[in-house]
Amino acid sequence: MIRTAIRAALPAVALAVALPAGAEEDPRVGLTPEIDSVTVETRSGSVEIRRVQDPENRLEGSWALTSRPCPEFCIQPHEPAEGVSTIGELELIGMLQDPEVIVVDSRTPDWFAGGTIPGAVNIPYTEAVDRMSELGCEIDFDGWDCTEASAVALFCNGLWCGQSPVAIRRMIEAGFPAEKISYYRGGMQTWRLLGLTVTGGEG
């Protein structure tokens, strides 16, 4: 299973980073030393997630900005709420492979339209509570019943983006179990920094 393979490869990733530049005649930019790419199912069909193979690739435009003014673009805490798991790219890729997990791009539609992580569905942070039925919760007379809630992973634009942390806190306040939420703190900026596949908005 891809999640097991990715977890097993995690210690080796640090070793790969330590190798000197030019150690291979034909450098390959993989996800891990053992995995070049993975394929995920999206609403538009299968998409291969891989890294850009050009070692000279760089971030451009707004993604290269480091110092957005705070407020509102303030550094987000590692843990947006008690009980929520903060994850990295390899864990998120494993979740994208798991049909039981829903990966949520919690940015506003204009950001989503500019490109997202393959397989993510757009539930803007402003609509997160109202759309918890899409995440396995049921509305009842007292609010939301989330005993059958799906495991979810939320992300937004990166370490300076408050959209997914706000969505997470609002969902928990409305009854969504914190232990079923993962937070990809790196968001789109880190995803792009690593040269990972970005697809146009869907859903």
pLDDT digits (tens, 9 = 90+) for 110-155: 999 999 999 999 999 999 999 999 999 999 988 999 999 999 999 9
Mean pLDDT of all residues in 173-180 = 98
**Residue 166 domain-assigned (yes or no):** yes
Q: pLDDT at position 6, please?
A: 46
Range of the domain at 46: 2-193
What proportions of the chain, in percent to the nearest 5, are helix, strand and coil?
Answer: 30, 20, 50
Give percent of the chain above pLDDT 70: 86
Q: Rounded to whole angstroms, how far apart are CA atoms 157 and 160?
A: 7
In a domain, 91, yes or no: yes
Q: Has residue 70 been placed in a domain? A: yes
Is 107 among the domain residues?
yes
User: How does DSSP classify residue 196?
Assistant: B
Residue 64 falls inside a structural domain: yes
Query: Which residues does 41 contact at the CB level (< 8 Å), separation at least 6?
Result: 99, 119
173's enclosing H/E stretch is helix 163-173
Tell me what the mean pLDDT of segment 53-71 comes to: 94
Q: Judge whether 19 lies within some domain.
A: yes
Task: Say how many domains are in the chain.
Answer: 1
Q: What is the pLDDT of residue 93?
A: 98
- Let me know if residue 200 belongs to a domain: no
| DSSP assigned state of 139 | E
Q: Over pLDDT 90: what percentage of the chain?
A: 82
Q: Is residue 203 part of a domain?
A: no
Tell me what pLDDT residue 124 has.
98
Q: What is the CATH number of the domain that holds 63?
A: 3.40.250.10
Q: Per residue in 72-100, pLDDT tens?
A: 999 999 999 999 999 999 999 999 999 99
The two three-digit tokens of residue 181, written as one number: 């939420």
Q: What pTM does this model have?
A: 0.86
